[in-house]
Amino acid sequence: MLFNPIQATPQEVIAFILIFMRISGIFLVAPVFASANVPSMVKASWTLIVSLLLFPVIPFQQLILPTTGIPLFLDILKELFVGFVLGMAVSIVFSAFELAGQLIDIQMGFGLVNVIDPVTGSQVSIMGNYYYFVATVVFLAIDGHYILLRAIAASFTVIPLGTVHFTSMLEGQMNHLFSQMFLIGFQIALPVIAALFLTNLISGIVARTIPQMNVFIVTMPLNIAVGLLIAAVSMSFTVYLTGQVFNNTYHELADLIQSMR
């Protein structure tokens, strides 16, 4: 049954509004969908289209939904927050790649060099921006956006409209995601960090052996060259690890949804 605003009952209108708010929360913060390069009208159209497509398959007829007053306002806020949490979970995964780039930049000597990220509009490190775009390409290549849409659809089955509850499990799941962010970021940056550590170790030995050499002048361009070379050589490992991370994202989203039942 498609949503017809002219012939819809009050319950159907309220249900559609709640569906729209949950999906809006996701599209406000989820990577790719929330990109600053995407016009606001396009984002609103995506949200409306997804809401219209999901409306016929979401069971809400047996639910008692508030129609006016504070209960309705609170339900709208809850649905918006559910979408926000799911979108933020995917955003945290993407932040792991920016973190990996920042760790590498510090070792390469780019710690104070930032560029404007056209996606988020914020300042990020050079290598952080590079790994973020690699993650975006892999995310789209393995149909990660479909994984997110599947999670949205599944959330309405696990958490029916108006039945959202925030428990301590949600806090635990978010803490787990943040800890995973640091672990994933370190794993991605590990090949380059290890190579730069060996480079600096060798440079230190050379400095002790040949005091006349200005090691500082030699080490800076050497670190940049080694860092870029190892980042290029380890790209297949990075892409493989990125794919594994995004394949596990659906399970992380499922656990988050379960924590809000």
pLDDT in tens, 135-157: 888 888 888 888 888 888 888 88
Q: Which of 95, 107, 98 is nearest to 131 (CA)?
A: 98
Task: Classify residue 196: in a domain, yes or no.
Answer: yes
Is residue 5 a part of any domain in this protein? no
DSSP character for 253? Answer: H
- Write out pLDDT tens, residues 217-227: 777 888 888 88
- In a domain, residue 4? The reply is no
- Are 98 and 17 contacting, i.e. CB atoms less than 8 angstroms apart? no
Sequence-distant (≥ 6) Cβ neighbours of residue 36 within 8 angstroms: 118, 119, 120, 121
In Å, what is the CA distance from 147 to each residue of 31, 53, 249? 13, 16, 8
Would residue 100 count as lying in a domain?
Answer: yes
Q: Is residue 3 in some structural domain?
A: no
Q: How far is CA 149 from the centre of its chain?
A: 14
What is the domain range of residue 217? 10-258
Residue 109, pLDDT score: 76
Q: Within a domain: residue 213?
A: yes
Residue 42 lies in a domain: yes
The structural domain count of the chain equals 1
Q: Which residues, including other chains, have CB under 8 Å from residue 144's CB and lie 6 or more apart?
A: 138, 246, 249
Which positions ≥6 away from 204 have C-beta within 8 Å?
215
Q: Is the pLDDT of residue 65 over 80?
A: no
Question: Quick check: is 129 in a domain?
Answer: yes
pTM for this entry: 0.82
What's the pLDDT tens digit per position in 24-45? 888 888 887 777 777 788 888 8
